Amino acid sequence: MSAVSAASVADATHGRARRAAPDYQKAWFSAPAVVLIAAVFVIPLVIVALQSLYREGFTIAGYEQILGSTLFWRILRTTLEITLEASLLSLLLGYPLAYYIAQLDRTPRAIAMILVLLPFWTSILVKSFAFIVILGEQGIIKTMLRQFLSLELGTSLVFNRIGVMVGMVHFLIPFCVFPILNNLLAQPPELRRAALIMGASRRQVFFRVTFLLSLPAIVASAIMTVVLSIGVFVTPALLGGRRDMMVANLIDYYTREALDWTMAAALAVMLLLISGALIWVLSRVDSIDRH
Amino acid sequence: MVDHISLPLKIAAGLVFAFLIAPSLIVIPMSFSDSREIMFPPSGFSWMLYREYFAGPEWVAATIESTLVATGVTALSLATGVPVAYALVRSRLFGVAIIRAFVMMPMLVPTIVFALGLYIYFARLGISGSTLALILGHSVHNLPFVVLVVIAGLRQVNPNIEVAAQVLGASVLRVFFSVVLPMIAGPIAAAGMFSFLISFDEVVIAWFLSSPRTMTLPIKMYSSIQWEVSPVLAAISTLLTLLSLVICVLGVALRRPEA
């Protein structure tokens, strides 16, 4: 019997044939990954939690020190500000882009996808270097303004909050475009057509049909951008100034400069709790809107 | 979608595209500059910066280390990620949902937290600063990504072909190696290339785990941007952009199964 005809027999006797390979045997294929995650992911996280409570014996001094330091509260505020602003801005720029790509035909859409995928796959260091070249004092933008408009910008565009936001938004936009684009392409076009036939204007069709149906994808994008930006490390270090230090940079400082692992671990635990709380809130929004 | 595209939307999309693609494009002309000063437009044309990169022993050593790590990561993340993707798609056992959540966890935890954990853990184990430590850390970091790509590939093949092989007497292992793997060779290759590239470009875990002896290319670039903004970076950036472009185009082409 050829494999193809055996496949059609199996198609016909679906239920009985499936029992030939018990599910528990296939479940064993997850063993290598489970061992790897347990040994190289779960144990390190447990160690962080334990380390945060340990300094020559059990102590909560790490947490006390953090909660009592003005530096921590200032950096936490900066981190949350940058996270929320960058997430919002990248959604605001990513949504119209996804909406535009969704309307394209096959070939232009494939090209547009590559234009989004290329920055997605480009090293964060290449981007940081490029933005320093573009935004710096001798950079492209300032030079062009000087030469063509003889305009001297008073503010710097990099090594401050502006630089961080440019770098962050650039990094986050693709993470917004992919889920939203998938959602828009999966929406049945009949719904929009029906709304048009019933007399809705294009604006109404967008806001009452397309946009509402895409809310779950917006929430999914927001969760991704929050997780990615709350722990961001490279962008504030390379494109920001001293006052744009984020929690990740503080963790790095305590680990490698101050050599205080207890403080570093306590900060990491707080960062994990805060990002977990934000994810939880955002996923609640998602389940409310599905009811 | 069949709606018309309004002019403001076109302009908005064009501007966002320009913003997205600008950094990748800007480094190319910069890399052929014949001056050590970073300016735009670059003066003249020369291969000077490329020569400087290939002749710099530190840059070459960092590139070799990154290649070594990324190769190991590709092997380990595929060896663990492909089987678990198979289990997640084909087994309907109760515990599978839990395994799925377990394997996807690294995606939901900020990398810095995980990197700090690895730093302390590997210091205790006495393997910090080694190539092995980097490979282990990056493999876990890439695993959810590999699993997602392979799952998407598996969903596109007919499961009854595997059932047929079983009916004909093949063992579970034989079905996996002789039937399943060849059918999803394309998505597996795509996942492997993505895993290689993610590891090759990864900074945060490498920042915590590498030592001067095992400094990866991103770490070398990171310190170079932080301290001097060397013009060699333009040449390296152009090469990295080229690598990203090749892998992104190949990845899109390979993700269809049986391609």
List of residues 6+ apart from A209 with CB closer than 8 A: A191, A192, A195, A200
Look up the CATH architecture of domain A69-290: Orthogonal Bundle (1.10)
Q: How far apart are CA A163 and CA A161, in angstroms?
A: 5
Using an 8 Å CB-CB cutoff, list chain A residues near B163: 7, 10, 14, 17-18, 20-21
Q: Would you give the distance in Å from CA B123 to the centre of its chain?
A: 26
Cβ neighbours of A157 (radius 10 Å) = 19
Q: How far apart are CA A102 and CA B36, in angstroms?
A: 44
| Chain B stretch 35-64, residues whose beta carbon is closer than 8 A to a beta carbon of chain A | 38-40
Using an 8 Å CB-CB cutoff, list chain A residues near B162: 21
Nearest CA-CA partner of B4 in A205, A91, A92, A194: A205
Q: Is residue A251 within 8 Å of residue A271, measured between CB atoms?
A: yes
Percent of chain B surpassing pLDDT 90: 78
In the structure encoding, which two tokens stand for residue A223, read together? 């969760």
| Chain B stretch 75-104, residues whose beta carbon is closer than 8 A to a beta carbon of chain A | 76, 79-81, 83-84, 86-88, 90-93, 95-96, 99, 102-103
* Residue B256 confidence (pLDDT): 62
The answer to whether B225 contacts A112, with C-beta atoms less than 8 Å apart, is: no
* Residue B2 confidence (pLDDT): 46
pLDDT single digits (tens) B184-204 = 999 999 999 999 999 999 999
**To the nearest whole angstrom, how far is the Cα of A212 from the nearest Cα of chain B?**
16
pLDDT single digits (tens) B215-247 = 999 999 999 998 888 889 999 999 999 999 999
| CATH 3.40.50.620, domain B56-254, yes or no | no
| Torsion from C-alpha of B46, B52, B55, B57, nearest 10 degrees | -170
A41, A223, A229: best mutation site toward chain B, by most B Cβ within 10 Å? Answer: A41
Cβ neighbours of B141 (radius 10 Å) = 26
| Between B5 and B108, the higher pLDDT residue | B108
* Residue A10 confidence (pLDDT): 53
Q: How far apart are CA B107 and CA A279, in angstroms?
A: 12
pLDDT single digits (tens) B164-176 = 999 999 999 999 9
List of residues 6+ apart from B100 with CB closer than 8 A: B88
φ/ψ (deg, to 5) at B129: 80, 0
A89, A118, A269: best mutation site toward chain B, by most B Cβ within 10 Å? Answer: A118
Q: How many CB pairs under 8 A join A and B?
A: 310
| Between B66 and A106, the higher pLDDT residue | B66
Q: What is the pTM of this model?
A: 0.91
The answer to whether A233 contacts B207, with C-beta atoms less than 8 Å apart, is: yes
Domain limits, chain A: 69-290
Using an 8 Å CB-CB cutoff, list chain A residues near B116: 48, 251, 255, 264-265, 268
Q: How far apart are CA A185 and CA B2, in angstroms?
A: 10
DSSP string, B144-213: HHHHHHHHHHHTTS-HHHHHHHHHTT--HHHIIIIIIHHHTHHHHHHHHHHHHHHHHH--HHHHHHB-GG
Domain limits, chain B: 56-254
Amino acid at A114: I
Structure letter (DSSP) for residue B42: P
* Residue B239 confidence (pLDDT): 96
**To the nearest whole angstrom, how far is the Cα of B111 from the nearest Cα of chain A?**
7
Per DSSP, the three-state class of B248 is: helix
| Between A22 and B78, the higher pLDDT residue | B78
Amino acid at B141: H
Alpha-helix runs per DSSP H in A68-188: 70-103, 106-121, 124-135, 140-149, 161-186
* Residue A290 confidence (pLDDT): 54
pLDDT single digits (tens) B21-56 = 999 999 999 899 887 777 777 778 889 999 999 999
User: Which of A160-169, B114-123, B153-162, B246-255 is least confident?
Assistant: B246-255
Banded pLDDT at B3 (limits 50, 70, 90): low
* Residue A17 confidence (pLDDT): 44
- Taking 70 as the pLDDT cut, the residues of chain A under it are 1-22, 286-291
**To the nearest whole angstrom, how far is the Cα of A221 from the nearest Cα of chain B?**
13
In the structure encoding, which two tokens stand for residue B229, read together? 């903004």
Cβ neighbours of A194 (radius 10 Å) = 13
